Amino acid sequence: WCVGFVDEIEHRLQDTGGKELPTSQLGEWVMEALPELDEVAYVRFASVYRQFKDVNEFMDELKHFLGKQN
């Protein structure tokens, strides 16, 4: 299951043509691909990547995530 996730990110990197890529773009790609792999891992990654300041920001992300699932 992890191989497909890594392959997807690697293909996206190759599609950039070898140009430098901001880490923020890589983080967004991970945020897009991770929910299909592991929902809990997505929430954990999002909490660090988005640098939530408080519980309300965390809850907003959860609501957004759950809204996409329905």
Domain spans of the chain, in order of start: 2-69
The residue-averaged pLDDT of 6-33 equals 89
What's the start-to-end Cα distance of the chain, in Å?
23
CB 27 within 8 A of CB 49: yes
**pLDDT over threshold 60, residue 1:** no
pLDDT in tens, 21-70: 899 999 999 998 888 888 899 889 998 998 989 999 999 988 988 888 76
Beta carbons within 10 angstroms of residue 42's beta carbon? 20
pLDDT at residue 17 in the model? 85
pLDDT at residue 70 in the model? 67
pLDDT at residue 3 in the model? 81
pLDDT at residue 68 in the model? 80
